[in-house]
A = this chain, B = another copy of it.
Amino acid sequence: MNIRENIRPGGRSARVQASVHKAVRDLLSTMDRGDVTIPLIAAEAGVTPSTIYRRWGDLQELLADVAVEHLRPDAPPKDTGSARTDLELWAEQYADEMASGPGRAMIRDVLSSTGTETRNAGKCCGYTREQLQAIAARADDRGEAFPDVETVIDHVVAPIMFRILFDETPAAAGQVRLLVEKVLPER
């Protein structure tokens, strides 16, 4: 299923999607995720359940779609005047957001959509890559050194995410700065 790509902005399909996404977010903010069902979402969004089944297939796919949408950054990374501080600030925010309760729930939704997990998870990785590319492009404009974006993903983003998913204690700000220092050593 190629959902968002086939949607004409402002068209009926886009309005249905916006309304269903909003219904999911509203319900998740007031009730347990385990109690949210497609009929409830449909009632809240003012559409029929079959509209939802037809477009998303099942609840897990819909939750993953909403989570991916929420994880899409709404602005470029803050320009702090230097590549090092840009990357440090971005990585600390990424670690904080992903380690938070809502962040963990969204990661779980994205990763547990069966079958298409790579597509949803790949989109999240794509957003991360775009943010890092924006920091790299600014570094280039300023004439600053900056590592390859894939190196930053392997050695800054991946350790942060691995500790959130598999370890008891997520990375603290000090550890995030050490990861940045490793890919962008101070002169």
Contact = CB atoms under 8 A, between A and B. Distances in A.
Contact of A168 (B118, B153, B167): B118
Number of this chain's copies in the assembly equals: 2
Contact of A166 (B104, B112, B124, B168): B124
A134 interface: no
Interface in A88-142: 104, 108, 111-112, 114, 117-118, 121-122, 124-125
Interface residues of A, number: 28
Contacts of A108: 111-112, 114, 117
Majority secondary structure, A binding face:
helix
A122 B162 contact: no
Interface string A149-170: 0000111011101110111100
B112 A168 contact: no
Q: Which residue of A111, A124, A153, A158 has the most chain B CB atoms within 10 A of its CB atom?
A: A158
B111 A167 contact: no
